[in-house]
Amino acid sequence: MPTPVPAIGSDELAERRARFMAGLGDGVALIPGARPRTRSNDTEYVFRQDSDLLYLTGFPQPEAVAVFTQDRFVLFVQPRDPEMETWNGRRPGVEGAVSEFGADEAFPVEELGERLPGLIENRRRLWHAFGRDRALDDRVVDALEKTRARLRRGVAAPTEVVSPFDALHRMRSYKSPAELEIMRAAATISREAHRAAARLCQPGRWEYELEAALHQVFRARGGAGPAYASIVGAGDNATVLHYVTNEARLEAGQLVLIDAGVELHGYASDVTRTYPVGGHYEGAARDVYQAVLEAQRAAFDAVRPRTTLKAIHEAALRKLVEGLVELKALEGDIDGLLESEAYRPFYMHSTGHLLGMDVHDVGQYAVDGQPRELEPGMCFTIEPGLYFGSSEEKSPDHLRGIGVRIEDDVVVTDDGHENLTAAIPKEIDAVEAWIRD
């Protein structure tokens, strides 16, 4: 089945580069791509391009470096190599970097060190983030030294070295209509995947069976696979925030927390639902689930332009603390419990994070020491939860082994918000019906 929407097109990529390059002034910027990573011995993880390079160029191959000035886009790439391409697949090469990816010039990546001094000379500012790629850092330092050595010949080296991330990540914070279409399509695929997994939430099944159902849909619908390691935690495993072992048996009366979303055309979906094993929320598990659901509703009520993730978190947190009192996990005045952070054993994370090409996407959370105001086009998650781990001594006996999180993907609009994952059921009756049907 084909993917439901196309990847970002060449026109939008060119427009992104033009905006980024316009802000460089008389500077030069280096944006490196990702390198292959060893999985074991001589095998590698499936390659995934660095999001910054992908955002500006769409170039999918490893070991690439993009160099930008105000009026020039240069790509350094792996050259064509018939022998290596027999083993690892076709490379666009230098020619393809120009014809397929819009570079003004392209060169073999092995020539970067040789050509870099000429690219940075007489540029006042060098936009480069030291510390991400040690090999590239060494080339940059060498290029600076070679350029400074030519001072008596009238050649000037950059006098400032600054990170390009502030400007680039500010751009990535605002999603275009095409980006939002991809993220909506990713949400649709994630819905189908959650439905396939939810139908398996029966006693005797195994967490890895649910994981396999999720991943089968991700790939069958054209996604790259999971956007992050899928979490399928039943019973007490649901109280471990980043549980990814996914090897336990589902038992009657448990809840199973599934935190899983597809990556589509470089964009992440991030969805959590907590399903009842056997198809019915019962007893304390139902009460905990309802408390988290009400907290998420309170968070959604707070979403509008110019609000902050902090305000959204505080809205959810107050409702969670009220729920903890009703569940008899806490006692006392709500304001006092909030101030003392008495909820921490049962709720230890924030209520959301930025979302986009990275599941925990780039962008500032604070500006000048104050929470950043959300603006139209910004995407983030809303994911309150409650966790009563069996090893947490403060967990009440009647709640031990229960973990619930509910997470949706949201974009701020001009007059409110859009829940990209609203079609994935979370109301109790709707979830129970979903599992049964």
* From 275, 281, 343, 387, active-site residue: 387
Active site residue 437: no
Active site residue 405: yes
As a whole number of Å, the CA-based R_g of the chain is 25
* From 287, 383, 408, 409, active-site residue: 383
Active site residue 398: no
Active site residue 137: no
Active site residue 313: no
* From 270, 358, 408, 409, active-site residue: 270
* Spatial contact of 57 and 66, defined as CB atoms under 8 Å apart: yes
Q: How far apart are the first and last CA of the chain?
A: 23
Active site residue 215: no
* Spatial contact of 232 and 260, defined as CB atoms under 8 Å apart: yes
What lies within 8 Å, CB to CB, of 344 at 6+ separation is none
What lies within 8 Å, CB to CB, of 134 at 6+ separation is none
Active site residue 360: yes
* From 121, 211, 259, 361, active-site residue: 259
* From 132, 150, 349, 398, active-site residue: 349
Hunting for tokens 């001009």 — which residue is that?
A: 414
Active site residue 228: no
Ranges assigned E (strand) in 249-398: 255-259, 262-264, 267-268, 272-276, 366-367, 370-371, 379-382, 385-388
* From 91, 313, 405, 417, active-site residue: 405
Instruction: Tell me the three state secondary structure of residue 195.
Output: helix
Question: How many other β-carbons are positioned within 10 Å of the β-carbon of residue 216?
Answer: 13
Q: Residue ranges of the alpha helices (H) in 81-176?
A: 82-88, 93-99, 112-120, 134-148, 165-172
What is the 8-class DSSP label of residue 127? E
H-run or E-run covering 14: helix 10-22
Active site residue 270: yes
Interior/surface letters 85-108, b for 16+ CB within 10 angstroms, e for the rest:
eeeeeebbbbebbbeebbbeebbb
* From 134, 152, 153, 242, active-site residue: 242
Give which of 413, 406, 381 is closest to 270, Cα–Cα: 381
Active site residue 15: no
Active site residue 417: no
How many alpha carbons lie under 13 Å from residue 143 in its C-beta half-sphere?
A: 25
- Report the distance separating Cα 316 and Cα 294, nearest Å: 8
- Report the distance separating Cα 47 and Cα 50, nearest Å: 10
* From 353, 358, 409, 417, active-site residue: 353
Which strands make up the sheet holding 416-419, listed edge to edge? Answer: 379-382, 408-413, 416-419
* Spatial contact of 203 and 251, defined as CB atoms under 8 Å apart: yes
Residues annotated catalytic, as ranges: 42, 242, 259, 270, 349, 353, 360, 383, 387, 405, 407
